[in-house]
Amino acid sequence: MKLRGAWSHEADALARVHAAAFDHAWSAPEIAELLDGPGGFALLVEDAEPVAFILCRAVAGEAEILTLAVEPPARRRGLARALVEAAAGAARMAGAEALFLEVAHDNAPALALYAAAGFARAGLRRGYYDRGPAGTADAVVMRLDLGRAA
């Protein structure tokens, strides 16, 4: 397994990983647009092919995790933890003082991951996620202080 930077010409492969991880997949053009937008950067873990990635944005002293996806067969091997730590380092290098994210209030694996990585709960966005006929879900906003992070 290798962790490295990912680029917009690899958006097709990233979209495949995203589709394997989420019910509502992001398209390759959507991912490429975010990567090429202001402050966009991504990191991936590959075996022969990418199996996990994190997509972030760092602008004006703040950074945000836009998405994090690990294919189901590659889970619970520390890949997400490694990606979050590497993204925090990259965001710090880009001048960010804090790293934010939104996560569904009922996404227990992700909440556990981010808590273990040192993120603290910073707020709640009610009805943030549209789940179609199932209604909406609240998002928990979490923040990692990059000044104090390891």
Ligand X SMILES: CC(C)(COP(=O)(O)OP(=O)(O)OC[C@H]1O[C@@H](n2cnc3c(N)ncnc32)[C@H](O)[C@@H]1OP(=O)(O)O)[C@@H](O)C(=O)NCCC(=O)NCCS
Instruction: Judge contact between 126 and 141, C-beta under 8 A.
Output: no
Instruction: Judge contact between 92 and 9, C-beta under 8 A.
Output: no
Letters for 82-121 (x = contact with ligand X by CB under 6 A, - = none) are: ---------------------x---xxxx-xx--x-----
- 79 binds ligand X per the rule CB under 6 A: yes
- 81 binds ligand X per the rule CB under 6 A: yes
Would you please indicate which residues are annotated as catalytic (active-site) residues? 102, 114
What is the distance between the alpha carbons of residues 67 and 26, in angstroms, rounded to a whole number? 10
- CA-CA-CA-CA torsion for 135, 129, 141, 3, nearest 10 degrees? 140
Letters for 36-65 (x = contact with ligand X by CB under 6 A, - = none) are: ------------------------------
- Cα separation of the two ends of the chain: 23
List of residues contacting ligand X (CB under 6 A)? 21-22, 67-70, 75-81, 103, 107-110, 112-113, 116
